[in-house]
Amino acid sequence: MTSPLLSDRILSLPKAELHLHLEGSILPATVCALTARHGVAMTEAEVRGRYAYRNFPEFIEAFKWVTSFLRDPQDYALIARDLAEHLLTQNVVYTEVTLSVGVMLLRKQQPEANFEALLRATEPFERRGLRFRWVFDAARQFGAEAAMKVVELAKRCASKAIVAFGIGGDELSVPTEAFRSTYDKAAELGLHRLMHAGETGGPEKIREAIELLGVERIGHGIAAIRDPALMDFLAERRLPLEICPGSNLKTGALVLQLGRKHATIEDHPLPKLLRHGIPVVLSTDDPAMFHTTLQTEYENAARMGLNQEELLKLVEMGFLHAFDLATERREARST
C-alpha cells in the first residue's frame, strides 16, 4: 500500500472501523453475483450506474434496490466474506458492522438464520486477525414498534458478538422521543446504544439522542458544527462522532449542514470538531456505495489539513471507542 498523502506509518498501522453498513459494502462484482443467484443478469457497469446519487433520498433508493437481492442466509454469507477480504486489505483488525435487521423483518425474512450465516462466514477471518462485532440496526422511518422488534431479535440471537443497537434511516421521520422504551430495553439487555443523528437532521437531533436515549456514539453528527454549545457538550462528555467524510459529500449531507450549494472534501468540519476536543472515529459508512475505502478516508482527512499527529490520533480513537475493546480494558483493569 502506498499513498502520496499518507506516511507509511499511518498506512501500515492496524485500524478499527466502527461505522460500516454490511449492505452498503457490496462491491459491484458481488452485486452481479447476487442478482445472478436470483435470476437477474446485470453488468458491473449497470450496478455502477445504480451506485450514483445526487442526494440522500436517491442514496436510500439505491440502498433499497441492492438490499432487495439479499434474500437468504447464503446471500448474507457471500457479502460478509467479500467485506472481510476487503477489510483485510485496509489493515482493519476490529470492526463493528451495522446490520439492517429492520429491513430483514420488513421483508419477512428469518434474521436469526441470516445472522447465523454471518457468524459462520466471518469466523475464519477471526483466525486471520479480523474481529467482527455487530450492531443490530432499525430504520427510524419504520417506527418504534418495528425498532423494538429489532431489540427483541438481538436478545433471541443471544450472541456476545452483538455489541450494540442502533437506529439509522430518515432522521426527519419519527421523533426521537418515540424510541425511549426501545433504548431502555436495549440498555437492559446490556447492548450499547447508537443512533444516526445530525447527518441530515439539525444539531437538536444529536442532543436528543444523547439526552433522551442515552446514545453513546453518534453516527455522523456533523450538524454539531452549527451549535457551539453542543460542541462544548460533546467535548466535555467525550462523546464520539463517527465521521464518514466521503459519505457526507456523496449524500449531500455536507452541503446541507454547511448551508452551501457546493462543497469539496476540504470543507468538511472534521478538523474543527477534532480540534475542539470532540472524539472522532473515522469511518466509511457504505464503502462500496460511496466508492471509498478506509485508506481513502484517511487521505480525505489529510486533504482537510490534519497533520501526522492528528491522523495518528484518529487511528487511536478507533480503538479507544470500540465497544468490545473498551469492555476488555475495563475488565483487565479490574482483575
Interface with Zn ion (CB under 5 A): 285
Cβ closer to Zn ion: 171 or 285?
285
Cβ closer to Zn ion: 285 or 299?
285
Largest CA distance in the chain: 57
Separation between Cα atoms, residue 175 and residue 306, nearest integer Å: 36
- Catalytic: which of 17, 199, 208, 216? 199
Cβ closer to Zn ion: 216 or 285?
285
Closest contact distance (angstroms) between CB of 104 and Zn ion is 17
Separation between Cα atoms, residue 104 and residue 36, nearest integer Å: 20
In angstroms, the Cα distances linking 333 to 52, 131, 216, 223 are 47, 22, 21, 36
**Annotated catalytic residue 199:** yes
Separation between Cα atoms, residue 282 and residue 292, nearest integer Å: 12
Closest contact distance (angstroms) between CB of 151 and Zn ion is 19
In the bound state, the residue with its beta carbon closest to Zn ion is 285
Closest contact distance (angstroms) between CB of 84 and Zn ion is 19
Closest contact distance (angstroms) between CB of 51 and Zn ion is 16
Residue 170 burial by CB count (10 A; 0-12/13-18/19+): exposed, middle or buried?
middle
User: How remote is the C-alpha of 271 from its chain's centroid?
Assistant: 20
In angstroms, the Cα distances linking 178 to 69, 111, 167, 264 are 31, 24, 12, 36
Cβ closer to Zn ion: 73 or 193?
193
Q: Residues with catalytic annotation?
A: 199
